[in-house]
Amino acid sequence: MRTRYLALTLVSFGALAVAPSARAQAIVADPARSPDAAFVAKATEAIAGDTDLAAVAMERATTAGVKTLAQQVLDATAALSRELAAMDRPVAIPATADATPTDAMKAAAALRSQPPPLFDAAFVAAIIARREAAVALFEAESRDGRDAEIKEWAARQLPALRDQLVAARALRDRPRS
């Protein structure tokens, strides 16, 4: 049996809700060991970042449409986290506490600093950019992945990611709903 070196930073949705900063700092030990491990590392970081952004939006959004999108993102990231955690993969070795802030952490901080009148549009723009990147990441894995289980999992996630991208783009065109 071949050994798979994939790491998951998210053990359960409970870990997402309890410690977002610790979760965001738990970086995959060595994603360079395989392209599939690198994908899982990137997907895990994207899930953590999306969770952080959506949590901020649930607190600060002013329109129903943006709150609905934020809840959809939270629900989707919870499901993705559970599925990743359920895969038969070893857990990552947490990075040191003084880890460099990730792009996702910086994006969440930037979103928090937005004044209320600009918040909803900033969240929608951030989710569009993150969903475009996620779709590209998951398409590449579903096409080029070597690990059959991860490749198939990535392909199954694409419809939901695309649906969220369409919903975010629709909000961009009418953010006051």
Q: Can you tell me the distance from the alpha carbon of 144 to that of 158, in angstroms, rounded to the nearest whole number?
A: 14
Q: Can you tell me the distance from the alpha carbon of 149 to that of 131, in angstroms, rounded to the nearest whole number?
A: 22
Averaged over successive runs of 10 residues, the pLDDT of the chain (177 residues) comes to 34 36 37 78 90 94 94 94 78 42 79 91 94 96 93 95 95 70
Predicted local distance difference test score (pLDDT) of residue 173 = 80
- Mapping DSSP to helix (H, G, I), strand (E, B) and coil, where does residue 40 land? helix
Amino acid identity of residue 152, one-letter, is E
CB 8 within 8 A of CB 44: yes
Predicted local distance difference test score (pLDDT) of residue 152 = 94
Predicted local distance difference test score (pLDDT) of residue 89 = 58
Task: Specify the pTM.
Answer: 0.74
Predicted local distance difference test score (pLDDT) of residue 96 = 36
Predicted local distance difference test score (pLDDT) of residue 107 = 83
Predicted local distance difference test score (pLDDT) of residue 33 = 66
| Tokens, residue 8 | 């998951």
Domains of the chain: 13-173 (1.20.1260.10)
- Mapping DSSP to helix (H, G, I), strand (E, B) and coil, where does residue 177 land? coil
Residue with tokens 């950019």: 129
Predicted local distance difference test score (pLDDT) of residue 127 = 95
CB atoms within 10 A of CB 159: 9
Q: Who's near 114: CB < 8 A, 6+ residues apart? A: 60, 122, 123
CA distances 101 to 23, 29, 56, 96, 161, Å, are: 12, 16, 17, 12, 25
